[in-house]
Amino acid sequence: MFRRLALPLIKKCLVNTKYLQVRHLEVAIVGAANHIGSNLALLLLQNPKITKLNLYDDDDKVRGIGMELAYFSDGPKVVSYSGDNFLPAAVRYANLIVMVSRTARKSGQSRQQMLAANAPAVHKLCKVISEQNCDAFLAISTNPINSIVPFASTLMLHYNTYNPFKICGITHIDTARCRTFAGNALNVSPRRLQVPVICGHSEETIVPLFSNLAPCNYSLDSCKADTLTRLLRKAGTEVINHKTGEDSAILCMAWSIGEFVERMLIALSGYETAVHCFSANPHFGTRFFAGPTLVGAQGIVQVCSNLPMSEYETGLLNRSIPVLNKEVCAGESYINVMN
Ligand code: LMR
């Protein structure tokens, strides 16, 4: 599937790469003063398609971060906005809004606790987007993604601005980790590999499809696939443990969100491309599902369906779906808790 999604992109990019170099898109990072947000902003400075980069945070520190980034004269115009009153201005003209605000996951914290910690910031943002710029594409990396994206979608529905093609959770981190683990196991550069990762973004719902490993001359036996699946599911928690339980992944998150944004900007420039994301998808017995997704100028063009799977992967997916459904429902019904 990923191969099928990726090939048209390569062809289209070859047609006219000149347009892709023209600065014409505005991006807003919401949560730009946290470590993921500021690292992401630094990475996005190098993107030739961004004409203006808006940095928003509740924390006034964002002004200092914006000041630093504005010193790079080759990059886009950088403007910082701090405090609730400036959120409308930060998102009003953005083509792409990237939500990275978060209370970092601590050791032992449950997904429900994370939802409670992060829902207020998502609520505030969805309300402002609905009032100011409901045509923008909203990409969310705030955890727990399995509940936060359904929560945000329900809020948009409540404000009559829900567009399932313009909202998703960013799950590039899972395929980035998966490529690295597979590359190490096969002793090849991860850069040469593609592995679709589907279902959700939590220890019990991440489902890597090593049977779809590309290029197809590489393969992993079922025992290796099982070991790497366990490794992938625990990867986020391992980082937290190595940070003495105090913080979750930052740098790899910023990098993988940067990779997602780069592809999204190609898509918004009119060239369909594939990303890994968590979005509305009815094909697997859930309302939301993660996987390789085709995006274009108007947002999501095609979500994944009918993926070939090994017996092991089918079993894993069947066990993951009920967990995902529970997390999706928790997000959708959280609007009642907040009202
Ligand atoms: C990760 O996968 O490392 C991130 O989503 C952070 C987290 O809370 O696990």
**Using only C-alpha atoms, what is the Rg of the chain?**
19
How confident is the model at residue 17, as a pLDDT? 54
Identify whether 242 is a catalytic site residue. no
Placement of tokens 């995006």 in the chain: 295
How confident is the model at residue 209, as a pLDDT? 97
**281-327 tens-digit pLDDT:** 999 999 999 999 999 999 999 999 989 999 999 999 999 999 999 99
Which amino acid is present at 255?
W
Any idea which of 109-118, 123-132, 147-156, 195-204 has the lowest mean pLDDT?
A: 109-118
Residue 3 has pLDDT above 70, yes or no: no
Pocket mutation for ligand 1, best pick of 239, 243, 257 (most atoms within 8 Å of C-beta): 239
C-alpha 17 – ligand 1 centre gap (Å): 34
Pocket mutation for ligand 1, best pick of 40, 105, 171, 231 (most atoms within 8 Å of C-beta): 105
Q: With bands split at pLDDT 50, 70 and 90, how would you rate the model's confidence at 8?
A: very low
Pocket mutation for ligand 1, best pick of 111, 149, 248, 256 (most atoms within 8 Å of C-beta): 248
How confident is the model at residue 105, as a pLDDT? 80
Structure tokens of 155? 């809020």
Q: From CA 134, how far away is CA 126, in angstroms rounded? A: 9
Catalytic residue among 201, 242, 276, 283: 201
C-alpha 236 – ligand 1 centre gap (Å): 5
Q: With bands split at pLDDT 50, 70 and 90, how would you rate the model's confidence at 104?
A: confident
How far apart, in Å, are the Cα atoms of 36 and each of 68, 86, 90, 100, 103?
Answer: 16, 21, 18, 7, 11
How confident is the model at residue 14, as a pLDDT? 40
Please write down the long-range contacts of 131-136, taking CB distance under 8 Å and 24 or more positions apart.
131/88, 131/159, 132/88, 132/91, 132/92, 133/91, 133/92, 133/93, 133/94, 133/97, 134/159, 134/161, 134/163, 135/166, 136/28, 136/91, 136/94, 136/95, 136/96, 136/97, 136/166
Pairing of strands 167-170, 273-280: antiparallel
Average pLDDT over residues 211-229: 93
Residue 88 has pLDDT above 60, yes or no: yes
Buried b (16+ CB within 10 A) or exposed e, 220-230: beeeebeebbe
Placement of tokens 């409670």 in the chain: 116
Q: From CA 60, how far away is CA 83, in angstroms rounded? A: 7
How confident is the model at residue 12, as a pLDDT? 42
Residue minimizing CA distance to atom 9 of ligand 1: 236
What pTM did the predictor assign? 0.93
Q: With bands split at pLDDT 50, 70 and 90, how would you rate the model's confidence at 106?
A: confident
Q: Pocket residues for ligand 1 (CB within 6 Å)?
A: 105, 143, 173, 236, 239, 248-249, 253
Q: With bands split at pLDDT 50, 70 and 90, how would you rate the model's confidence at 130?
A: very high
How confident is the model at residue 20, as a pLDDT? 57
C-alpha 141 – ligand 1 centre gap (Å): 9
Q: From CA 36, how far away is CA 40, in angstroms rounded? A: 6
Q: From CA 175, how far away is CA 274, in angstroms rounded? A: 12
Within its chain, how far is the Cα of 188 from the centroid? 26
Q: From CA 289, how far away is CA 291, in angstroms rounded? A: 7
C-alpha 162 – ligand 1 centre gap (Å): 26
C-alpha 4 – ligand 1 centre gap (Å): 28
Across the chain, mean pLDDT equals: 92
The ligand 1 atom at the shortest distance from the C-alpha of residue 252 is 3
Sequence length of the chain is: 339
Q: From CA 44, how far away is CA 39, in angstroms rounded? A: 9
Residue minimizing CA distance to atom 1 of ligand 1: 236
How far apart, in Å, are the Cα atoms of 162 and each of 37, 69, 75, 144?
Answer: 25, 33, 33, 20
